[in-house]
Chain A
Amino acid sequence: QKEVEQNSGPLSVPEGAIASLNCTYSDRGSQSFFWYRQYSGKSPELIMSIYSNGDKEDGRFTAQLNKASQYVSLLIRDSQPSDSATYLCAVNPPDSNYQLIWGAGTKLIIKP
């Protein structure tokens, strides 16, 4: 059974601090990893993709991938109230070019 695990939260972070979201996956051969943001009542929005071990930075967002430990994380620097949302982790398993395995999401609350 392929699984992607996330802490459901809510994770509460003060405004201006760093929010750290974590995700673990079970299929060691997975190659592509994605973070989506979903506001309440809206659809998921792709915010980061990462394919290689290490860090990938885009503005205030940094994705970190460690394939040996089978985890991927998302750091949000200088957190803003507008970052309050549910963050979904998705993983592309090695035996499918098309399907993603989804975590259930972590609810993030940024407190002003």
Chain B
Amino acid sequence: NAGVTQTPKFQVLKTGQSMTLQCAQDMNHNSMYWYRQDPGMGLRLIYYSASEGTTDKGEVPNGYNVSRLNKREFSLRLESAAPSQTSVYFCASSGPSSGAARYNEQFFGPGTRLTVL
């Protein structure tokens, strides 16, 4: 099993350009997440999808959109990139595990390093 995969690994954009970050998981998990990580600020949740067909805003959703394409895939779109969106983006997924939804062990993909000039 590949776990959680993300593409691309690196990307450089100019201000105003758009792009989509792709994420897929093969663990049959219900829930998927998009985070950004900036130096000294820890992980911040952008959007999440509790189950196929649903998406919800996280802590920092402005400037982003998401699509839960199916149970495996969850994409993040930047419609008009800004320098403030320079960051490392992580996708994660979770079960539930142990038969209970509250045991929220999340598993991460390798990340996308995005630079917006």
Contacts and interface: CB of A to CB of B under 8 A. Distances in A.
Interface residues of B, number: 25
A32 B102 contact: yes
B31 A88 contact: no
B42 A88 contact: yes
A48 to B, nearest CB: 10
Interface string A1-39: 000000010000000000000000000000110100000
B43 interface: yes
The size bracket of the interface on A is 20 to 34
Q: Tell me whether chain A's interface is mostly helix, strand or loop, or mixed.
A: loop
Nearest to B113: A41
A92 B43 contact: no
Contacts of A98: 31, 33, 48, 50, 94, 104
Interface of B: 31, 33, 40-45, 48, 50, 58, 90, 94, 96, 101-111
Interface of A: 8, 31-32, 34, 42-46, 49, 51, 88, 90, 92, 97-100, 102-105
